[in-house]
Amino acid sequence: MRWSEIGSQNCSVARALSVVGDRWTLLVLREAFYRTRRFEDFQARTGAPRPTEKGIDLYPVLVALLRWGDRWMADDAELPITLRHRGCGQIVQPELACPACGEFVSARAMEAVAPEPVPSV
């Protein structure tokens, strides 16, 4: 399969990658979450256009990449950035939680479920 065809698959991951897979997307979002606001600053730091509402919805993905990079790719030096919760001022390591019960979940605690077929009338 060609990269140009990946967005036509019936798969949310493939469709998302057809947009997010652009080499500039996550760099632009990184700058936005670093509070870069002026278009000229985005251009100077990444060479890519400013983020949209779609970009803001990618914040959890960016945080997950940040955490993965900190764990697996960082050298012995101090981490380049930490995340602080504005509400209480504490440094945090965001985690995935179930919105129904609040329990923190890991990959092993989750399962992918295919949608139920709609009965024909």
Its domain, for residue 61, covers 3-81
**Residue 92 domain-assigned (yes or no):** no
> Which position has the token pair 């940040």?
66
**Residue 105 domain-assigned (yes or no):** no
> Which position has the token pair 């399962």?
111
pTM above 0.75, yes or no: no
In this predicted model, what pLDDT tens digit does every residue of 5-23 receive, in sequence order?
767 766 666 777 777 776 7
In this predicted model, what pLDDT tens digit does every residue of 60-71 receive, in sequence order?
888 888 888 788
> What total of structural domains would you count in the chain?
1
**Residue 103 domain-assigned (yes or no):** no
CA distances from 44 to 36, 86, 103, 106, 109 (A): 11, 27, 41, 37, 42
Query: What's the average pLDDT block by block, 10 residues per block, for the chain (121 residues)?
Result: 69 71 76 80 73 80 82 74 92 91 92 85 75
**Residue 13 domain-assigned (yes or no):** yes
**Residue 10 domain-assigned (yes or no):** yes
